[in-house]
Chains A and B, each alone.
Chain A
Amino acid sequence: MKKLLEKYSAKMVSAGLAESGNPLLGGLDAELEWNREDPAIPVLEEVFGGLSINSLLFSLPAEPYRSIIDYLASGDVHSIKPEDSETRTFMHDLPVIRDFRSDLIIEKLRKRKSVIIRGKGIVTWGTVSPEQAFIFYSSVCFSCFVKFFSDYLRDSRRGSLSREQERVFRNALKNLDKYPDEPPALMSAPFGNREDVYRAVAQAGRMTVEHRLVDSFFGNVSLKWGDTLFISQTTSSLDELEGCIDPCPLDGSACTSITASSEFSAHMDILRLTGMKAILHGHPRFSVIMSMDCEKENCEFRGSCHIRCPEPRFIGDIPVVPGEVGTGPYGLSNTLPPAMRNSRGVIVRGHGLFTVSGEDFNGAFRNLLSIERMCREEYFKLPERI
């Protein structure tokens, strides 16, 4: 357990979600263990006592998340309601409390996966592994980031930006990740054997994480080789894909894709429709933010535009399509593949960016990076225009 606690503490730091020495993680089997000593432990032990869980995470987010979350949680706010796909699907809403008290934390965590303690940090839990707590924490940071920048754009348009909002915005700008001028060189096709294919998929995943083009470590990656699609497994961490890649026969003669990414069907259809072989999917933040931006405040689809928006929408040359995670009636498996037919990438509204290339991941990665860069540039042009 201790190893797991230390692993996810280190991941939080490397992903820029917390500063070194800040994450506090506890794991409970028959005995309770912590990754380090901390004065907060007695309160968190009470939280363990009040919930049926096996892991707990408490940390102050790193900048720019800290200022953003403090801003969103200020005033009389009891709950933050981001509208990105991650929150809508998995988190529902993000409860907020003011005091670091076990009874208040327990009350919120009885119903939700996270609680924000204003000015003090975020608490999340897991019932199976500290990894769940890490994922929930990461989702809170990501969705608050997306909400803050989306709200900023909306309020710019309305002319209702507050001074505090401006201050937090300027502070956040100082802490934005810098993208490289050139993408890294990835393994090139042709691939001689299955082992090379596995290595190429794992490398593409790792590079996507290292360049901060995903929400923490999640997304999916696939490569067609021969009559098989090699795809990352569901809930796999893109920087640790070794042993987590499913070989799925294209003729459907085996059900090994049952553990493959939830976007397996979309990947298969993209391959069929485009003839491309490599697919990358990440959650680059400005692609997500820009995909949610819409000037029509009184649109009849407001609130359900992530599944019902009828407008053909583009950011530059990149289509933006509605669609939820997976294969349901509003699933992105219906909207994404056709849009990819004539495009180097497609953004699913409020969710993330998919890119493709012919034989290996070099083109897909270049597209991922350049589209995210374009979205970021477009974002910062908008307030100026307004």
Chain B
Amino acid sequence: MIQFKTLLLKGYSYAMTVGWGRILHVDLSSGKHRFEDIDPDVSRLWIGGKGLAGYYLLPEITRSPDDPALPLIFMAGPLTGTPAPASGRICVMSKSPLTGAIGDCSVGGGFGWQLKKAGIDGIVITGVSRRLCGIEISDENVSIEDAGRLEGTGTNEIYSRLKDKGSVACIGPAAEHGVLFSSIMVDGTFAAGRGGLGLVSASKNLKYVTVHGTGVVPVHDQEKLRKAGEDIRRLIAATPALTGEHGLQNCGTAACYDLISCRRMMPTANFRKTFFPPAQSMNSHAFADAYRPKRYGCKACHVLCKRVGEDGTHLPEFETMSHFSALIENENLSAVTEANRICNEAGMDTISAGATLACFSEISGEKLTPARITELLLDIAAGKGEGSELGQGSLRFAESKGCSDLSMSVKGMELPGYDPRGAYGMALGYVTSTRGACHLRAYPISHEILRKPVATDRFSFAGKARIVKIAEDMNAVIDSLTVCKFFLFGCSLEEYSSVLSAVTGTETSAQDLLAAGERIYFRERVMNAKCGFTSDDDDLPPRFFAEEGSSGDGIDIPPLNREDFLEARSKYYRIRGLDGKGIPLENFAEELGLSELL
């Protein structure tokens, strides 16, 4: 492992005892496992979750996604398992088979919670099992079990069969059939969706991991944690996007659907348009009328943004709603829920699946009916017919047809439900994201659309380079604490640093955490550079610079100005410590105490 003597000698003030300090290593080739006590200096530097997972991925990042030595990592955060608000998530990380870049997802459900109660902060899985297998963890006990009976089984069915063993993370048939955007599903409905991490699991012949813990996660100062938690809950109650009448608490993430539609930035017809007239009859209200849903959510969260209908139908998230309606020009509500069901059951990322169908529809000229949507998704999951081609994602599919420009992707990962012509910070954030077109790395929608913490001009690149960089650092911290990003609509690292201090007993501040976030994100640029990524990969499809969106209602959606975009990207590179080709600069790495990484 890389030593960080330089950094430690610089005397960073950020120091704490993070989690249990215990990592479970499982080698599926030998069938053996061991526990590692993490060097406290390492956990102090990288916090947990995404930060600590990257520490284990870095030395192996240049390996192929199907190389047995490439680790698949599940990493909880220092707050997971405590009553800290919205802290029940976990980071899943490996190299993305879809992009060839770093691939990580923050996922909800109960997996991180159970893992911490079992006395474990993270799992690093390497090797390949000779037969399809599962890893079962119950406190100290770890076993590798034959999973042959589950071959080809859907994720919800697996969850039903295994939930008595604790929380369940598993892959569906899509991963077994080589789909490059296959997901890992947690507890039936929570998706580590993006980047194809399910395929990494499949390449290890790993069908599932279950974990059950009975311990109590220690908290240094319960009273301080209670007070810090109160501060956060007070701010959340004052945030309409979360707890307002039409916020996430009452309407789920579907609440964003109307807003994105009326801002004329809803990706429509494979991003040829930005407005979908039937959207007003396919919104949260329409789904609520049709399914009469109840709310549920992750551990330690009181917002509970997920929805399940009276009949047990799990309702789609905003991105899924948007892509399986507007993006593929589908006006049928039940076709959206069915597409969502198929993707979750098969273990496929709904964003990439929807965008790949949209790409297929544009290239083939075929209008997709509800029946055809179902047929194609089932074929992708089964790896048969046209589905086997589409399962490679939109970029490879479009390339195979000689029209790669029609894949609406960055680094090979498909764009989600916010058209970049409607939010310029989002345009920049899509390309600077280390995992491909991701809205969550910088989440400019927060200020460009949701007006949090304050509103910025969504049709301007002015100031956006630094805003994006700071937000990436902040969200890297949030994913390392494994807290829900939505809570940042209402509060900030100021409040979460108090929570962290209460849990660990070591004082820290928002700015200490941001400094850690900067190191974490810079390291991801280092990993991508090692994999050959340059500024050529930090770019949007040509459509966004050439074609206008659907203007109307007094809102103009012109094409992005290429010069302004490139200038903003260039500023971002300077602020992030990258050269003109997007490669990390040695002197900047040294400033961060990370020169050993290069």
* A27→B462 CA distance, assembly (Å): 11
Check if B236 sits within 8 Å of A328, measured CB to CB: yes
* A4→B465 CA distance, assembly (Å): 16
For residue A259, CB closer than 8 A to chain B, the reply is yes
Give the residues in chain A near B575, CB-CB below 8 Å: 29-30
A1-55, CB < 8 A from B: 1, 4, 27-30, 50-54
- Minimum Cβ distance to chain B for residue A132 (Å): 5
A90-129, CB < 8 A from B: 90, 92, 106, 109-113, 126-129
Check if B246 sits within 8 Å of A257, measured CB to CB: yes
Q: Contacting A235 at CB < 8 Å: which of B255, B285, B454, B462?
A: B454
For residue B247, CB closer than 8 A to chain A, the reply is yes
For residue B262, CB closer than 8 A to chain A, the reply is yes
C-beta contact mask, A249-273 vs B, less than 8 Å → 1, else 0? 0001111111111101100100000
* A257→B241 CA distance, assembly (Å): 8
Check if B454 sits within 8 Å of A324, measured CB to CB: no
Check if B237 sits within 8 Å of A235, measured CB to CB: no
Check if A262 sits within 8 Å of B454, measured CB to CB: no
* A135→B262 CA distance, assembly (Å): 28
B224-253, CB < 8 A from A: 231, 233-241, 243-247, 251
Check if A259 sits within 8 Å of B450, measured CB to CB: yes
- Minimum Cβ distance to chain B for residue A44 (Å): 16
C-beta contact mask, A315-337 vs B, less than 8 Å → 1, else 0? 00000000011111111000000
Interface-located stretch among B63-71, B506-514, B579-587:
B506-514
Give the residues in chain B near A253, CB-CB below 8 Å: 283, 285
Q: Contacting A92 at CB < 8 Å: which of B231, B238, B280?
A: B231
For residue A89, CB closer than 8 A to chain B, the reply is yes
For residue B574, CB closer than 8 A to chain A, the reply is yes
Check if B240 sits within 8 Å of A234, measured CB to CB: yes
Give the residues in chain A near B546, CB-CB below 8 Å: none
Give the residues in chain B near A258, CB-CB below 8 Å: 240-241, 244, 246-247, 251, 255-256, 258-259, 450
Check if B256 sits within 8 Å of A29, measured CB to CB: no
For residue B494, CB closer than 8 A to chain A, the reply is yes
Check if A257 sits within 8 Å of B240, measured CB to CB: yes
For residue A236, CB closer than 8 A to chain B, the reply is yes
Check if B283 sits within 8 Å of A254, measured CB to CB: yes
* A29→B464 CA distance, assembly (Å): 7
Check if B454 sits within 8 Å of A135, measured CB to CB: yes
* A236→B456 CA distance, assembly (Å): 11
Give the residues in chain B near A111, CB-CB below 8 Å: 494, 497, 509-511
* A260→B258 CA distance, assembly (Å): 13
B562-594, CB < 8 A from A: 570-571, 574-575
* A52→B466 CA distance, assembly (Å): 9
Check if B511 sits within 8 Å of A128, measured CB to CB: no
Give the residues in chain B near A372, CB-CB below 8 Å: none
Check if A327 sits within 8 Å of B494, measured CB to CB: no
Give the residues in chain A near B570, CB-CB below 8 Å: 30
For residue B424, CB closer than 8 A to chain A, the reply is no
Check if B245 sits within 8 Å of A52, measured CB to CB: no
* A24→B494 CA distance, assembly (Å): 24
A1-B462 in contact given A131-B454, A135-B454, A327-B244 (Cβ < 8 Å): yes
Give the residues in chain A near B471, CB-CB below 8 Å: 127
Residue of B nearest to A30 (CB): B571
A110-B454 in contact given A53-B470, A234-B240 (Cβ < 8 Å): no
Majority-rule SS of B interface residues: helix
Check if B238 sits within 8 Å of A236, measured CB to CB: no
Check if A235 sits within 8 Å of B451, measured CB to CB: yes
B272-328, CB < 8 A from A: 280, 283-285
* A50→B515 CA distance, assembly (Å): 10
For residue A233, CB closer than 8 A to chain B, the reply is yes
A255-B255 in contact given A262-B238, A327-B237 (Cβ < 8 Å): yes
Residue of A nearest to B511 (CB): A110
Check if A265 sits within 8 Å of B245, measured CB to CB: yes
- Minimum Cβ distance to chain B for residue A72 (Å): 22
For residue B397, CB closer than 8 A to chain A, the reply is no
Check if A259 sits within 8 Å of B259, measured CB to CB: yes
For residue B449, CB closer than 8 A to chain A, the reply is yes
Give the residues in chain B near A233, CB-CB below 8 Å: 451, 455
* A248→B245 CA distance, assembly (Å): 11
Give the residues in chain A near B258, CB-CB below 8 Å: 254-256, 258
Q: Contacting A128 at CB < 8 Å: which of B237, B245, B456?
A: B456
Give the residues in chain B near A248, CB-CB below 8 Å: 246
Q: Contacting B259 at CB < 8 Å: which of A28, A88, A252, A255?
A: A255
* A233→B518 CA distance, assembly (Å): 32
- Minimum Cβ distance to chain A for residue B474 (Å): 8
- Minimum Cβ distance to chain A for residue B468 (Å): 10
Check if A54 sits within 8 Å of B466, measured CB to CB: yes
Check if B246 sits within 8 Å of A51, measured CB to CB: no
- Minimum Cβ distance to chain B for residue A233 (Å): 6
Check if A259 sits within 8 Å of B447, measured CB to CB: no
Give the residues in chain A near B497, CB-CB below 8 Å: 111
A328-B237 in contact given A111-B497, A235-B451, A258-B450 (Cβ < 8 Å): yes
Residue of A nearest to B446 (CB): A128
A236-B259 in contact given A110-B509, A112-B494, A255-B246 (Cβ < 8 Å): no
Q: Contacting B245 at CB < 8 Å: which of A135, A268, A328?
A: A268
Check if B466 sits within 8 Å of A29, measured CB to CB: yes
- Minimum Cβ distance to chain B for residue A64 (Å): 27
Check if A325 sits within 8 Å of B238, measured CB to CB: yes
A109-B511 in contact given A30-B465, A30-B466, A255-B258 (Cβ < 8 Å): yes
Q: Contacting A259 at CB < 8 Å: which of B241, B453, B494, B571?
A: B241
A129-B463 in contact given A30-B574, A258-B246 (Cβ < 8 Å): yes
Check if B452 sits within 8 Å of A235, measured CB to CB: yes
- Minimum Cβ distance to chain B for residue A334 (Å): 11
Check if A326 sits within 8 Å of B285, measured CB to CB: no
Give the residues in chain A near B234, CB-CB below 8 Å: 88-89, 324-325, 328
For residue B473, CB closer than 8 A to chain A, the reply is yes
C-beta contact mask, A206-223 vs B, less than 8 Å → 1, else 0? 000000000000000000
Check if B238 sits within 8 Å of A324, measured CB to CB: yes
Check if A29 sits within 8 Å of B462, measured CB to CB: yes
Residue of B nearest to A307 (CB): B234
- Minimum Cβ distance to chain B for residue A317 (Å): 29
B376-434, CB < 8 A from A: none
Check if A255 sits within 8 Å of B284, measured CB to CB: yes
Give the residues in chain A near B42, CB-CB below 8 Å: none
Give the residues in chain A near B452, CB-CB below 8 Å: 234-235
* A128→B448 CA distance, assembly (Å): 10
Give the residues in chain A near B254, CB-CB below 8 Å: 255
B450-509, CB < 8 A from A: 450-456, 462-467, 470-471, 473-474, 494, 497, 509
Give the residues in chain B near A324, CB-CB below 8 Å: 234, 237-238
- Minimum Cβ distance to chain B for residue A105 (Å): 12
Give the residues in chain B near A92, CB-CB below 8 Å: 231, 494
Check if A328 sits within 8 Å of B233, measured CB to CB: yes
A262-B240 in contact given A52-B511, A52-B518 (Cβ < 8 Å): yes
In the A-B complex, the 7 residue pairs with the smallest Cβ-Cβ separation, listed nearest first, are: A328-B237, A30-B571, A325-B238, A110-B511, A326-B238, A255-B246, A110-B509
Told that A135-B454, A258-B247 touch, could you supply 13 new A-B pairs with CB distance under 8 A? A1-B462, A29-B464, A29-B466, A52-B515, A89-B235, A110-B509, A112-B494, A129-B447, A255-B257, A258-B450, A265-B244, A325-B238, A326-B243
Ordered by A's residue number, 12 sampled pairs between the chains whose C-beta atoms are within 8 Å are A29-B464, A52-B473, A129-B455, A132-B454, A233-B455, A234-B241, A253-B283, A257-B245, A261-B240, A327-B244, A328-B234, A328-B243
